[in-house]
């Protein structure tokens, strides 16, 4: 069966599911009434998206705080504790998380992982401010990976428009105003395959320490999941204005979409995307009901133009979702800036009503950058190493951060001398230029592990260690 016939079948399945939902529940003309041309548009754009993404999907981010807030009530399952989102690098070189936030988050650390890469921000005020909203915009520091860990993070750009000469502007306007198919990559199916008891809180992934819930195990689990291929859910964007939300901060100039969570349709689409591991799609289970963890999930589409398929890109993130009849979920999307500048992300934060969260994260990163410069100047260490140290210390006052960083700096210089002596004993001066780089990329809080990895790095014949 050809890709076109499979996607036509999927598009028809979308139409049937939406039509059934429309008959069962009043969901508005933008969702329940669709013409044959609408279905064709969905199929065409879905086909372009799949062709552009096949084999190399965009990875969504997964966000979580290190501790859990339980003043009023405890969460009951892990889906209340993590959110999806996306990491975008601005033209000025700063990283931003645009995605979901949980009312259960607490503590001082927020972590976002995307394609195996880690991004973080620390500060009690940052996390407490985040839990007041469902979608947040925060500036993050790129985390230290160590050991040459492979990552799959890539910049999720906006969709490429139909920019053919003369009719380009008209064609782009037409594409933006009509129904379009797309995908919502996410990691829910990885967890819906878990046994029920593994999803409970407290449980295997969330434990209790000193009468407080800790998400440390779940956080490590999310890190491991994040570099696996995400599962693409089918999405159809719809024409019309989003319905009014209880939280007015959820949507500004938002778009509506519908996701069809039918396991058979999901598996067909999944197999088109994920070519390297059949087991992921074979074990795909139906997502029964709506999960809060989908909040912040990015939606991608690619336009079908007269000149051919354009490059897929992100059109927005999920701000809210409402379960309709059957396997259909009605989504409201927050569109992202088309120009990735610091100013654009600040304006998005302001429009979403999360300017306080944004400002807290910016202040935290500015303070950390100041400490990185001070460590470089005072202790003669590289900016790379100084930045890595910041992953291991609390982001308190600059004076306290310098004090907390000092033992790591001392161990760095100790390790460099150990590596230099090792190279001299081995009698291979060609390895000398690897010493500082190996000390940087293998940095670990435990000195014994750090020394072991650094020695292996220096002696390794694998170039990926010190590139």
Map out the domains of the chain as residue ranges. Answer: 50-352, 356-459
Name the residue among 355, 352, 320 with its Cα closest to residue 337. Answer: 352
- pLDDT confidence of residue 29: 41
List the structure tokens of 140: 């993050």
Q: Is the dihedral of CA 342, 347, 348, 353 positive or negative?
A: positive
Q: pLDDT digit of tens for each residue in the chain (467 aa)?
A: 566 777 777 777 766 766 666 555 544 444 445 566 677 777 788 888 888 777 667 889 999 998 776 666 778 889 999 999 999 999 999 999 999 999 999 888 999 999 889 999 998 889 988 988 899 999 999 998 655 455 678 888 888 877 655 444 545 555 555 578 888 999 988 888 777 788 888 889 988 877 778 888 999 999 989 988 888 888 887 654 444 444 444 444 456 777 777 777 778 788 877 766 667 777 676 666 567 899 999 999 888 887 788 888 998 999 888 777 667 788 888 889 889 999 999 999 998 999 999 999 999 999 999 999 999 999 999 999 999 999 999 998 999 999 999 999 999 999 999 999 999 998 888 889 899 999 998 998 999 999 999 999 998 876 655 55
- pLDDT confidence of residue 182: 85
H helix or E strand, kind and range, residue 64: strand 61-68
DSSP string for 134-202 = SEEEEEEEEPP--TT--------PPPPP---TTTHHHHHHHHHHS-EEEEEEESHHHHHTS-HHHHBSS
Decide if 260 contacts 234 (C-beta within 8 A).
yes
CA distance 339 to 343: 9
Q: In this structure, are strands 313-323 and 298-301 parallel, antiparallel, or unpaired?
A: antiparallel
CA distance 451 to 440: 11
CA distance 339 to 269: 30
Determine the 3-state secondary structure of 227 from DSSP: coil
CA distance 296 to 2: 33
Round to the nearest angstrom and report the end-to-end CA distance of the chain. Answer: 44
CA angle centred on 112, ends 300 and 197, rounded to 5°:
95
Q: In this structure, are strands 207-209 and 304-305 parallel, antiparallel, or unpaired?
A: unpaired
CA distance 186 to 183: 9
Determine the 3-state secondary structure of 16 from DSSP: helix
Name the residue among 26, 143, 38, 130 with its Cα closest to residue 81. Answer: 130
Name the residue among 68, 64, 101, 80 with its Cα closest to residue 200. Answer: 80
Q: How far is CA 395 from CA 111, 383, 462, in A?
A: 14, 17, 36
- pLDDT confidence of residue 388: 94
Decide if 119 contacts 364 (C-beta within 8 A).
no
- pLDDT confidence of residue 247: 44
Decide if 30 contacts 243 (C-beta within 8 A).
no
Give how far the C-alpha of residue 268 lies from the chain's centroid of Cα atoms, to the nearest Å: 24
In the block, tokens 């490429």 appear at 160
Residues forming a β-bridge with 207: 214
Residue 382: partners with Cβ closer than 8 Å, 6 or more residues away = 376, 436, 440
Count Cα neighbours of 352 within 13 Å in the Cβ-side half-sphere. 32
């Amino acid at each position: 069966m050809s890709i076109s016939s499979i996607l036509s079948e999927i598009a028809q399945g979308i139409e049937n599911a939406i039509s059934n939902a429309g008959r069962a529940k009043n969901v508005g003309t933008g969702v329940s009434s669709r013409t044959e041309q609408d279905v064709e548009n969905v199929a065409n754009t879905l086909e372009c998206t799949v062709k552009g993404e096949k084999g190399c999907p965009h990875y969504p981010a997964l966000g979580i705080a290190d501790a859990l807030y339980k003043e009023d009530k405890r969460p009951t399952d892990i889906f209340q504790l993590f959110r999806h989102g996306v990491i975008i690098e601005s033209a000025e070189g700063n990283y931003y998380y645009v995605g979901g936030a949980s009312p259960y988050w607490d503590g001082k650390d927020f972590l976002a992982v995307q394609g195996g890469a880690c991004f973080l921000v620390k500060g009690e005020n940052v996390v407490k401010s985040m839990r007041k909203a469902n979608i947040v915009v925060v500036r993050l520091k790129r985390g230290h990976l160590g050991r040459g860990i492979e990552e799959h993070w890539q910049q999720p750009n906006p969709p490429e428009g139909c920019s053919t000469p003369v009719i380009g502007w008209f064609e782009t306007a037409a594409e933006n105003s009509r129904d379009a198919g797309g995908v919502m990559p996410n990691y829910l199916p990885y967890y819906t395959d878990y046994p029920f008891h593994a999803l409970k809180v407290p449980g295997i992934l969330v434990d209790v320490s000193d009468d407080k819930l800790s998400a440390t195990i779940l956080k490590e689990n999310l890190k491991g999941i994040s570099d696996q291929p995400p599962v693409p859910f089918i999405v159809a964007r719809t024409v019309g204005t989003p319905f009014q939300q209880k939280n007015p901060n959820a949507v500004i100039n938002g778009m509506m979409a519908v996701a069809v969570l039918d396991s058979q349709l999901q598996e067909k689409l999944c197999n088109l995307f994920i070519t390297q591991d059949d087991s992921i799609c074979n074990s795909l289970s139906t997502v029964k009901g709506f999960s809060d963890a989908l909040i912040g999930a990015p939606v991608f589409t690619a336009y079908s133009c007269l000149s051919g398929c354009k490059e897929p890109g992100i059109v927005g993130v999920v701000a809210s979702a409402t379960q309709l009849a059957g396997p259909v979920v009605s989504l409201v999307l927050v569109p992202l800036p088309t120009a990735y500048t610091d100013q654009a992300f600040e304006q998005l934060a302001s429009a979403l009503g999360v300017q306080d969260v944004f400002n807290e994260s910016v202040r935290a990163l500015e303070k950390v950058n100041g400490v990185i410069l001070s460590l470089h100047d005072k202790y003669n260490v590289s900016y790379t190493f100084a930045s890595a140290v910041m992953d291991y210390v609390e982001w308190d006052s600059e004076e306290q951060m310098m004090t907390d960083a000092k033992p790591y700096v001392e161990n760095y210089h100790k390790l460099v001398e150990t590596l230099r002596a090792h190279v001299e004993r081995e009698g291979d001066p060609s390895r000398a230029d690897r010493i500082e780089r190996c000390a940087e990329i293998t940095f670990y809080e435990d000195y014994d592990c750090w020394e072991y990895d650094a020695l292996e790095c220096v002696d390794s014949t694998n170039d990926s260690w010190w590139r």
